[in-house]
Amino acid sequence: MHVYVAEFFGTLLVILLGNGIVAGALLRGSKAENPGWFTICFTWGLAVTLAIYAVGTSSGAHLNPAVTIAFALKGDFATAQVGGYLAAQVGGAFAGAILVWLHYLPHWRNTPDGAAKRAAFCTAPAVRNPVTNFLSEVLASTVLVLGLLFLGTNEFTQGLSPIVVGLLIMAIGLGLGGTTGFAINPARDLGPRLAHALLPISGKADSDWSYAWIPVVGPIVGGALAVGIYGMLY
């Protein structure tokens, strides 16, 4: 059971800090308003790094259903644990989004833009095109899982690996994140989107469920592709 608790807590940390910077960037009256895309990507990278340090020795710090499914497909993770990991990750993301909502509680009322409020929870495309949006998520997620697999073939000084993973997240955000906001993680999008739908947020927009399948299915497909590509290389 402790591995599921670790995945829950680690994913909660990622969302608390990652969605926290997005909320700070978009909500009116925040001292972090309009910090720029680099700052957002950098914070997401640091959030993942911290979460890996926190729970990596307990659960392996997957923190992402696409990673868990990819590792199971590769044979590096027990299929019997996949369902528990996925539930813990989505639950942790949901709880992290609620904490972000509580942290910025006075700011929701002061922000008139419903889409900006939703963006503090879940992703949306810069240009809405389901085909290209899906391909963006697949490509970015393929790079993510390939990067993790490539890192596994190298030896790092003890304690350095989480920093390298954080830099990988940052590089994906800067290089490929401008199209869809680089969900690259079904739990990161689905859990907070559920929270957005359920929380009493003043003046919120709809939760955009017509788009929600893309940041869920795209990363899973990308992770599976990464496993196939890795198998051809090694």
Number of other residues whose CB lies within 10 A of the CB of residue 53: 17
Tokens standing for residue 202: 């003043």
From 219, 196, 143, 216, select the one nearest 174 (Cα to Cα): 143
Q: What is the pTM of this model?
A: 0.97
In the predicted structure, residue 194 carries a pLDDT above the cut 80: yes
Q: Which SS3 state, helix, strand or coil, does residue 217 take? A: helix
Identify the residue whose tokens are 């909660």: 12
Q: According to the model, what pLDDT value does residue 204 have?
A: 96
pLDDT band, very low/low/confident/very high, at 153 (cuts 50, 70, 90): confident
Q: How far apart are CA 222 and CA 114, in angstroms?
A: 30
Task: Give the pLDDT band of residue 179 (cuts 50, 70, 90).
Answer: very high
> Per the structure block, which two tokens stand in for 71?
């590792």
Output phi, psi for 87, to 5 deg: -65, -40
Residue 158 has pLDDT above 90, yes or no: no
Higher pLDDT, 25 or 234: 25
Amino acid code (one letter) for 163: I
**Which domains, ranges and CATH numbers included, belong to the chain?**
2-233 (1.20.1080.10)
- Residue 177 near residue 41 (C-beta atoms within 8 A): yes
For residue 195, pLDDT beyond 80:
yes
The arithmetic mean of pLDDT across residues 144-164, rounded, is: 90
